[in-house]
A = this chain, B = another copy of it.
Amino acid sequence: MPATAIAAKPAAAAPKPLLDIATPTPPDIVIAQSIKPKHISQIAEAKLGLQPEEYEMHGPTKAKVRLSVLDRLKGTPSGKYVVVAGISPTPLGEGKSTTTVGLCQSLGAYLDRPVLTCIRQPSQGPTFGIKGGAAGGGYSQVIPMEEMNLHLTGDIHAITAANNLLAAAIDARMFHEAAQTDEALFRRLCPADKHGKRAFAPVMLRRLEKLGIAKTDPSELTPTEVSAFARLDLDPQSITWRRVMDVNDRFLRGITVGQGSEERGQERSTGFDIAVASEIMAVLALASDLSDMRERLGRMVVGNDKRGNPVTADDLGVGGALTVLMKDAIMPTLLQTLEGTPVLVHAGPFANIAHGNSSIVADQIGLKLVGKDGYVVTEAGFGSDIGMEKFMNIKCRASGLRPDAAVIVATVRALKMHGGGAPVVAGTPLPHEYLTEDVELVTKGCCNLARHVKNAVAYGVPVVVAINAFASDTEAELAAVKAAALEAGAFDAVVTRHHSLGGAGAVDLSRAVVAACERPSKFKFLYDLDLSIKEKIEAIARSYGAEGVSYSPEAEAQIAKYTRMGFDGLPICMAKTQYSFSHDAKLKGAPSGFVLPIRDVRASVGAGFIYPLVGSMMTMPGLPTRPGYYDIDIDPKSGRVMGLS
């Protein structure tokens, strides 16, 4: 989000802001805490028409929306579905979340359209680390920002608990299998009750079915069947399931577990990821209802047995328990913007090793709640090559929903960097070219925007470019961006000033979006699912501008393994840097002619995608020398949080 934006003069047509606007724009937390949020029941009932039994209050400013609302609204026509993505991000920030929020404030508070913003829940780790919050910025924010950036309604904590229960189940099972015969394992797994009767737990019937054992009485299993059932025989080397924590803890990236006095001899190298990198987060985002989530959680693959067969959460008997831990997390959380428009915050999967989009259920609920005259604006992580590509090919494929328009957010500054502007270092003054007019530089950088626009247009969806204006931008620079966007095929390109003006500053943008949504769209996927894993990878690589794809021996082996296991029909989720269309973060602009190297290939079978690793992905951030937490404290009198940004 723009850190130094200064209120620009609104365009002649811009309405008077409803918010009390200060200049220069105060810090985010000051603005956020200056507005008293409406009671969330008002947002739920007056703005969204929710019935009292369709949502649960979590304090006065948060509510969880029950999925039962979808049953009531089954026959209602859906609203328009708008996805927001960015250009390839730079350290300067493009203000994608801020634009998403500002667009909705404008649609709701100025154009009087029913509107709902769907955004991801941010990880709590970075809140205390190096990056600020994820609730937007300036006069386009989700409030209360403290709630948004901290525990919210506990969904990420539930994911942590579920992820780590599964991890504990894996190690405990290997521990017990190492110490017991097949018969002893079976006796303990199916113990006799006081009448001497033994029974399978329902979850065990899933494993029996997978093994092709059509028996329901434990006493009827043959010794071979007992072995097959009771011994999972996990290959420790094959285990891909890691533990997670919602804290930036770099010392957990690589660890050895099992060094307690009772576990010695079973040490194992593993590590922690940040909680939002858990496959369970991706499952939450892609599940269509409770039952679908139960099935996805149960079929998550944690590794394979020594003969190469995948071992799942349900093989470990824990799929039901994971679902119980996630039963409240499946309800999206309702918040509001500074201008009182409704926001559903739900799920926040990583945008590289996962698909980087908020949940399907939130979008589904939103589309029904806003109705045929309304708008759901949903944010995708990073650029069209990352979050939007996965939105189209993974999320929309899973949900059956189709976008009516796409918005791509760009800034003059970021495009200057794509055009060859100097690197930016935090804590040092911005290089000269970012603060003074340089039309040539910005025009050169528009190659990045143009490719994002073309990629988005290829899905058959009208594209609006939102040019998020900074005070230092000149009219000539803004005009250059607009021209480049239109030339690349955008339906429209609009300068927007929601950071300094709130929804009033985004009225031109929201009018353009409304117009785009009236256009007929002919949605098509980038690739068909029945292509081979490699063909799918190559289709995506071409959209990056790659000339070809290379595979490491590990990648080749994994592709062969997943194909053999029958997972080759899944869509592809590329784990690639967001900073470049290529695999090299330093290649700004619109690189082409490169060969995309696939280092390894993994699968999130429960979430439902294969993820090739293009280079190495950081899945656990660290803390800097002076983390953000130095500034964070509470005023014990008022309970007010200080120092969040």
Chain A residues close to B by CB (< 8 Å): 56-60, 64, 124, 128, 146, 150-151, 154, 157-158, 160-161, 164-165, 167-169, 171-172, 175-176, 180, 185, 188-189, 191, 194, 201-204, 243, 245-263, 266, 268-269, 271, 289-291, 294, 317-321, 323-325, 327-328, 427, 429, 620, 622-627, 629-634, 636-637, 639, 641-644
Taking a contact as CB atoms closer than 8 A, the residue among B189, B626, B643 that contacts A189 in the complex is: B626
A203 to B167, CA, bound (A): 37
Q: Which residues of B contact A642 (CB under 8 A)?
A: 320
- In the complex, the answer to whether A625 meets B185 with C-beta atoms within 8 Å is yes
A262 to B154, CA, bound (A): 31
Closest 4 CB pairs of A and B: A320-B633, A253-B260, A291-B636, A321-B629
- Tell me how many chains of this kind the complex includes: 2
- In the complex, the answer to whether A201 meets B630 with C-beta atoms within 8 Å is yes
Taking a contact as CB atoms closer than 8 A, the residue among B64, B188, B251, B644 that contacts A258 in the complex is: B251
Q: Which residues of B contact A639 (CB under 8 A)?
A: 290, 327
- In the complex, the answer to whether B623 meets A168 with C-beta atoms within 8 Å is yes
- In the complex, the answer to whether B249 meets A167 with C-beta atoms within 8 Å is yes
Task: Determine which residue in A191, A626, A637, A642 has the highest number of CB atoms from chain B within 10 A of its CB, and name it.
Answer: A626
| Nearest-neighbor residue (CB-CB) of A171 within chain B | B251
Contact flag A429-B324 (CB < 8 Å), given A251-B175, A259-B256, A636-B289: no
- In the complex, the answer to whether B260 meets A254 with C-beta atoms within 8 Å is yes
Taking a contact as CB atoms closer than 8 A, the residue among B291, B328, B637 that contacts A151 in the complex is: B328
Contact flag A172-B262 (CB < 8 Å), given A150-B324, A167-B249, A633-B203: no
Contact flag A634-B327 (CB < 8 Å), given A154-B154, A259-B254: yes
A133 to B508, CA, bound (A): 57
A628 to B532, CA, bound (A): 41
| Nearest-neighbor residue (CB-CB) of A245 within chain B | B164
Q: Which residues of B contact A254 (CB under 8 A)?
A: 258-261, 263
A642 to B246, CA, bound (A): 29
A202 to B630, CA, bound (A): 8
CB distance from A13 to the nearest CB of B (A): 35
